[in-house]
Structure 1
């Protein structure tokens, strides 16, 4: 997947005019990309549209209009775009109560090393930037890349694969199999 280019970013005023339609389209596109992982986590497989939406929304929310700020946001979010042969996954720890969430983020330390995607029974570890790992806790949002084997890529592209997202942490175990619509989206990402 090719990275987002500066020429694709709309000025805030122009973005406001198309925002409702663009957001609705991308949110619908993300629906089969979203995976519920138990009661307190979910994940989304990222693609170019989801990343473009995040960039535009960040520029809008933070009112960023200077070129260096725009370039920073593009560079930051382009890290979410998967390289050839890999998937990109954003995972969320979703605990509304701040006190419980803070306690759980401490209990879930090391979560970054406990996430994988399973393709036909073979696990591919999800990896994240080592600089984002904290020794005494985890964070509520994680950005992962999953490098797939040629066999896994072929099976997903052929839409014959059984694919699951796994969390195997001592304090949280979850495994969710993807349905056909989700596998179709992954096949598009790997095309």
Structure 2
């Protein structure tokens, strides 16, 4: 995958003209990149297209222009898979504010308990280290950015027809897993170059 550069960014007026079609295409793309894990976690596997869309949307919402662009590129390019990894945004989604506060308070360090298992071999998540996601009092953030670095042999195993791939969370307060469906595995294969 290649990093997103200023040359990839449409001027705001040009983006407005293609936004509706772009949004529809990203929604379709994300269908095979979204995974529910237990009652509260949703995982989105990112790619260059999802990050390019996100940058355009941030520039559109904040209207910061060229001054904003550098920061957006720095933030979102770290989430573009490098060809030897999968990258995911993990969200802990709970509508009820009091329940959310209670759950997040008990999930400190969750980012250290996540793995992808490919035919039984665990590939531990490497959390983004841009900011600390767990506070000193043990409360976790509701959003985590995760990298899953693969060896060449693990990529081959992932690509093997019938591979069983499982997203697992082994935190004592949230022990859940979800098997990636074949359509998702096929979509994620494109992230390896």
TM range (shorter): over 0.9
TM superposition shift of 1:100: 1.3
Cα offset, 1:17, TM superposition: 1.2
Residue in structure 1 matched with residue 120 of structure 2 by the alignment: 121
Give the CA RMSD over aligned residues: 1.3
Aligned partner of residue 117 in structure 1, secondary structure = strand
Partner in structure 2 of residue 175 of structure 1: 177
Unaligned runs of at least 5 residues, structure 2: none
Structure 1: gaps (5+ residues): none
The answer to whether structure 1 residue 62 and structure 2 residue 62 are counterparts is yes
What is the SS of the residue equivalent to 1:189? Answer: coil
Does residue 156 in structure 1 map to residue 158 in structure 2? yes
- Which runs of at least 4 in structure 1 moved beyond 3 Å after TM superposition? none
Report how many residues are paired. 190
Distance 2:108 2:27 in 1: 30
Contact kept, 8 Å, 1:157 with 1:190, in 2: the verdict is no
The structure richer in helix per residue is: 1
Equivalent residue, structure 1, for 2:109: 110
Q: CA shift at 1:113, angstroms?
A: 0.4
In structure 2, how many angstroms separate the alpha carbons of the residues matched to 1:103 and 1:14?
44
Please give the per-residue CA displacement for 1:77-132, whole angstroms capped at 9, x wherever unaligned.
Answer: 00101123111011000001122111211111111101111100011110113432
Q: Name the residue aligned to 1:186.
A: 188
Q: Which whole-Å CA distance do the structure 2 matches of 1:106 and 1:61 have between them?
A: 31
Q: TM-score, normalising length from structure 2?
A: 0.94
User: Alpha-carbon deviation of 1:151?
Assistant: 2.1
Q: How far apart are residue 180 of structure 1 and its match?
A: 1.0
Aligned to 1:84: 83
Deviation at 1:63, TM superposition (A): 1.6
